[in-house]
Amino acid sequence: MFYLLLKYVILGPLLRLMFRPRIEGLEHIPEHGAAIVAGNHLSFSDHFLMPAIIKRRITFLAKAEYFTGPGIKGRLTAAFFRSAGQIPVDRSGKEAGQAAIREGLGVLRKGELLGIYPEGTRSHDGRLYKGKVGVAAMALRAQVPVIPCAMIGTFEAQPPGKVVPRFRRVTIRFGEPLEFSRYAGMDGEKAVLRAVTDELMYAILGLSGQEYVDKYAAVVKAEEEAERAADGGRRVQDRKFPRMPLS
């Protein structure tokens, strides 16, 4: 009930007012049956924009940190995410990927829509990053179609670190469903999982027009943070021990 209240009365109308979303390819979302909607992830707003414009209920796998915040704010955030149809997934440890797959398969077995971001995290610079193979494993095990989706303009509307989004028109574009029945029974093959994931990411790329980076977003973030830390260390050293001019 609260999900419907958010979608049609509280959050949905507000999001439509703020972002005036242009919707393309909505006919590719099946009216019945299980399917995966896999998209790029540019903004915190993505979690709510897509569910607001899809007629069917869609369940997303969300990082557990959204559900474990301290204090009243943390409890309110957790309640909000659960009411919005989000499932917490612990992304730490060796079993994190398998836990996410189990949760996703549970949604698909009920004949529902599952939303997932194959990059595994929000893009910190607006580029599209290498996808993780969990989405391929779920698609092959459940034998369901995957609908690629591109969020366009949400990075500019609410980039990382910005709490209140800008009023800006965005586009949500759905592509034709991808089906991978030719790989039935091969969900244990690493090469197959990578091939399926890369095909999906290529479809998302075609819809979004982003620059593609063939590395995981989390890896690139860590590399950039390490580089910034190293630069900061060098600047501190230079202030302590200024270089003497060469005579």
Q: What is the domain extent for residue 17?
A: 1-231
* pLDDT value at residue 51: 85
Other Cβ atoms less than 10 A from the Cβ of 222: the count is 11
In a domain, 222, yes or no: yes
E-strand spans in the chain? 22-24, 35-39, 58-63, 86-89, 113-116, 128-129, 146-152, 171-174, 212-213
**Into how many domains does the chain fold?**
1
Return d(Cα 204, Cα 62) in angstroms, integer: 20
Name which of 79-83, 167-171, 229-233 the model is least confident about: 79-83
Which tokens go with 112? 């529902």
In a domain, 46, yes or no: yes
The beta-carbon contacts of 73-77 under 8 Å, at least 24 apart in sequence, are none
DSSP character for 69?
-
In a domain, 23, yes or no: yes
One-letter identity of residue 113: L
* pLDDT range class, residue 64, cuts 50, 70, 90: confident
Which tokens go with 197? 């994931």
pLDDT at residue 89 tops 70: yes
The more confidently predicted of residues 79 and 36 is 36
One-letter identity of residue 162: K
pLDDT at residue 40 tops 90: yes
In a domain, 242, yes or no: no
* pLDDT range class, residue 235, cuts 50, 70, 90: low
Average pLDDT, the chain: 87
CATH number at residue 118: 3.40.1130.10
Query: How far is CA 172 from its chain centroid?
Result: 14
* pLDDT value at residue 197: 98
pLDDT at residue 247 tops 50: no
Do 38 and 145 touch, CB atoms closer than 8 A?
no
- Which stretch, 9-13, 46-50, 82-86, 235-239, has highest mean pLDDT? 46-50
In a domain, 236, yes or no: no
* pTM of the complete model: 0.85
Other Cβ atoms less than 10 A from the Cβ of 149: the count is 25
pLDDT in tens, 90-127: 666 556 678 888 989 999 999 999 999 999 889 999 99
Residues 6+ apart with CB under 8 A from 25: 173, 174, 175, 176
Other Cβ atoms less than 10 A from the Cβ of 241: the count is 8
Residues 6+ apart with CB under 8 A from 171: 21, 22, 23, 24, 150, 151, 152, 153
* pLDDT value at residue 33: 97
In a domain, 122, yes or no: yes
In a domain, 240, yes or no: no
To the nearest 10 degrees (0 to 180), the angle between helices 190-208 and 134-142 is: 110
